[in-house]
Amino acid sequence: MEAFFIESIKEYGYIILFFWSILEGESGLVMAGLLSHTGDMNLFLAIFIAGLGGFAGDQLYFYIGRFNKSYVHRKLKQQKRKLALAHLLLKKHGWPIIFLQRYLYGLRTIIPIAIGLTGYSAKKYALINLIAAWCWSSVIILPVWYFGNEILSVITYGREHWYFALPLVAILIGIVYYYINSIDTKTLKNKAHQN
């Protein structure tokens, strides 16, 4: 099964990378960086295609917000806090939030939808989003490509000693999740106190 998976990635890697970047991104970019390191993908083509996928996904979310306002408000009732936070971030920071939204966990899909709900220029959004998508793919793929030997060594060690790796990964995920939720809650509380 593992050999089939690796061969499929080698054969259809760029197509998989494009669609993976539309849907989620980071783990696909890490895989592209590793495949570029091993020579199974072209580094610059991987960055280009991943950026286009990230761009396409965010454009899709933007236009969902732009042309389906009532649907968005109906379907995202549980996400009202995040939509409000996205509007506050856009109002406070302007266009740089389009650039940074890829790195804001839990807001990556909400911010393009929230921007689509506003009267923000679609052309300006598209241009900033395209540049941001290529920067995002470069920021992730290039370090993985550069440190490929070290990353592959850690992966090999983790496979051989999974009983150490699994609890460590679970703890790291828990710490990141706690940190991100505390930042989100703190930001909303600060905004509530200012108003």
Please tell me whether residues 104 and 81 are part of one structural domain: yes
pLDDT digits (tens, 9 = 90+) for 22-53: 987 788 898 899 999 988 899 999 999 999 99
The two most distant CA atoms of the chain are separated, in Å, by 57
Backbone phi and psi for residue 59, each to the nearest 5 degrees, phi listed first: -65, -40
Q: Is residue 112 part of a domain?
A: yes
Domain boundaries, position 32: 2-147
The stretch 106-131 carries a mean pLDDT of: 87
Please tell me whether residues 189 and 111 are part of one structural domain: no
| Confidence at residue 179, expressed as pLDDT on a 0 to 100 scale | 76
Instruction: Give the pLDDT band of residue 110 (cuts 50, 70, 90).
Output: confident
pTM of the model: 0.77
Provide the domain count of the chain. Answer: 2
Please tell me whether residues 172 and 143 are part of one structural domain: no
Angle, alpha carbons 46-47-50 (nearest 5°): 80
Please tell me whether residues 183 and 143 are part of one structural domain: no
Q: Is residue 128 part of a domain?
A: yes
Type of residue at 36: S
Q: Is residue 79 part of a domain?
A: yes
Do residues 88 and 194 lie in contact, with contact meaning Cβ atoms separated by under 8 Å? no
Of 82, 138, 86, the residue nearest 111 (C-alpha): 86
